[in-house]
Amino acid sequence: MKTTDPKKIEILDCLKGGLIVSCQTQKDEPIYTPDMVVKMAECAKWAGAVGLRLNSPEQIRQVKEADLGLPIIGLYKVWHDDTDVFITPTMKEVDAIVEAGADIIALDCTSQITHEKTIAWDLLPQIREKYPNHLIFADCSNIEEAIHASQNGAEIVAPTLYGYTKNTENIEGANYRMVADMCRAVGDDAKVIMEGHLYTPEDAMKCIFIGCHAVVVGSAITRPHYVAKRFVDCLSKYQDDWRLAEKAHHTNELK
């Protein structure tokens, strides 16, 4: 959905060609401290990042109060055992991240069935109607879902969930050809921001070259336990799959 809103265009222009850092930590992770997400965001700001991607109203609010001056892509992860849809699955989560200060609303826009027995992407037009002044960031797993999202109100689409759905669950690396095709498929209707499976600056540069508006990098920058686990996985001859830990459901309880 190509926007003509000056405020939205200003944010999109700010993101162009840059690095968005996903600053997330869960309470059951070894790096968790109450202020860790703020430190992550401050590091991203210091490095020259153009935006932040944050999970949960609590952490969005913390970073907002730190007043770093970077646009915030907000999401709210909620896990259920009967579905793979966990990124901002209902309007309840959308309301919470908007109230916390998110500038951009991120949600699962795949064709998967939610815990509520709806199709994940059906939430998109409801958000578009309720929050017309917010940019929407559609987390997709394939080109078809990206096209559907761009036609139904999302100004930003991303292959965030490539590798996290039943049809793509055994995929580990980035699919640059698919991302390039996604850029061509949505054309001027939406901006494609690359997210997922980027581990080096060269990976990020490749995405900009093939047509992405910006890139999001998270685990390779802000989650050292996953970086270490990738090394261990390789050195142990792939006896353990580090991505099983990356894709695990989390708990809100402190360890």
> What CA–CA distance (Å, rounded) separates 25 from 161?
18
Here the tokens at position 215 are 């890139």
Give whole-number Cα distances, 228 to 25, 56, 186, 220, 233, in Å.
Answer: 16, 25, 36, 10, 9
- Helix 143-151 to helix 176-186 angle (10° resolution) is 30
Amino acid at 95: D
Among the listed residues 130, 135, 165, 159, the one whose alpha carbon sits nearest the alpha carbon of residue 147: 159
Asked whether the beta carbons of 63 and 37 are under 8 A apart, the reply is yes
Among the listed residues 79, 100, 155, 150, the one whose alpha carbon sits nearest the alpha carbon of residue 121: 150
Averaged pLDDT, 146-167 = 95
Asked whether the beta carbons of 49 and 73 are under 8 A apart, the reply is no
207: confidence class by pLDDT, cuts 50, 70, 90? very high
pLDDT tens column, 208-248:
999 999 999 999 999 999 999 999 999 998 888 877 777 78
What single DSSP character describes residue 187? G
Among the listed residues 119, 65, 120, the one whose alpha carbon sits nearest the alpha carbon of residue 88: 120
Averaged pLDDT, 92-111 = 98
Question: What was the pLDDT predicted at 254?
Answer: 56
Exposure b/e, 186-219, CB count within 10 A at least 16 = b: beebbbbbbbbbbeeeebbebbbebbbbbbbbbb
pLDDT tens column, 58-92:
999 999 999 999 999 999 999 999 999 999 999 99
Whole-model pTM: value is: 0.95
Give the rounded percent of residues in the chain with a pLDDT score beyond 90. 86
> What CA–CA distance (Å, rounded) separates 254 from 249?
14
Averaged pLDDT, 126-147 = 98
Asked whether the beta carbons of 119 and 148 are under 8 A apart, the reply is no
Asked whether the beta carbons of 86 and 55 are under 8 A apart, the reply is no
The pLDDT of residue 170 is above 90: no
The pLDDT of residue 1 is above 70: no
What single DSSP character describes residue 148? H
Task: Look at residue 219 and give its three-state secondary structure.
Answer: helix
The pLDDT of residue 253 is above 70: no
Q: Where does the chain show beta strands of DSSP type E?
A: 19-23, 51-55, 72-75, 104-108, 135-139, 156-158, 191-195, 214-217
Mean pLDDT computed over every residue of the chain = 94
Averaged pLDDT, 43-55 = 98
161: confidence class by pLDDT, cuts 50, 70, 90? very high
Task: Look at residue 13 and give its three-state secondary structure.
Answer: helix
